[in-house]
Amino acid sequence: VEEWGPFDLVYGSTPALGHSCDRSPGWYLFQFHRLLQYARPRLGSPKPFFWMFVDNLLLTKDDQAIASRFLEMEPVTLQDVHGRVLQNAVRVWTNVPAVKSRHSTLASEEELLLAQDRQQGRLPTQGPAALVKNCFLPLREYFKYFSERTSSL
C-alpha cells in the first residue's frame, strides 16, 4: 500500500457480535459521520481520501435508512459463501471504488436467519484488517491507472 502513495482512510463500524457495549448501534453510525465531517480533505486536495463504515448486521431497517441518507449512498452486502453456508456477512457504506458485493444482495429471510445465527454466536465476524485488505487490494489497479495517466501528462 505504501508504494501507492499517501492516502487517508476513515474506518468505523458497529461492534462485532459478542462484544458488549453501552451504546446503541446507531450511535456508532452518528459518531462515524461526525468524524467523517472533520476528516474530509479540502476541495481540490490531490491526496486520495477513502472512508468505510461497516455494519455487522446490527443496524435496524430504520438505522440503515438513516445511514444511507447521512452517508449519501446505499450499502453493499459483502459475504463469504463456503459451499451452502453463508459466513461473515456485513453491510458496507464506502467511497472505495473497488467495493462491490461479490454475491447478490441477501434476501430478507436470509439476512434475518444470518442475524439470528450471529446473535447466537454461530458465525465469526470478518475482522477489520481482513475486510480492509479485501476491499483495498483491488485499488492497486486504481492507483496504477492514475499514476500512469499523471506520469504521461
CB-based burial of residue 130 (10 Å sphere; 0-12 exposed, 13-18 middle, 19+ buried)? exposed
Q: Which of 26-30, 59-63, 95-99 has the lowest mean pLDDT?
A: 95-99
Residues across the chain: 153
pLDDT for 121 beyond 90: no
pLDDT for 53 beyond 80: yes
pLDDT for 142 beyond 80: no
Tally Cβ neighbours within 10 Å of residue 66: 16
**From its phi and psi, is residue 5 left (phi > 0), alpha (psi between -120 and 50) or beta?**
left
Highest mean pLDDT of the ranges 2-11, 61-70, 77-86, 110-119: 61-70
Give 98's contacts (C-beta < 8 A, 6+ positions apart). 135, 136, 137, 138, 139, 142
pLDDT for 84 beyond 80: no
* CA max distance for the chain: 56
Strand residues in 35-112 grouped as ranges (E)? 49-55, 76-82, 85-94
Asked if CATH classification 3.90.228.20 holds for the domain at 2-148, the reply, yes or no, is: no
State what percent of residues in the chain have pLDDT above 70. Answer: 56
- When pLDDT is averaged across residues 44-72 and rounded to a whole number, the result is 91
Strand partners, 92: 54, 76
Q: Which three cell numbers stand for residue 59?
A: 443496524
According to the model, what pLDDT value does residue 1 have? Answer: 54
Closest CA to 56 of 83, 84, 21, 82: 21
Q: Which of 54-58, 115-119, 132-136 has the lowest mean pLDDT?
A: 115-119
- Read off the pLDDT of residues 24-34 as tens digits, 9 standing for 90 and up: 999 999 999 99
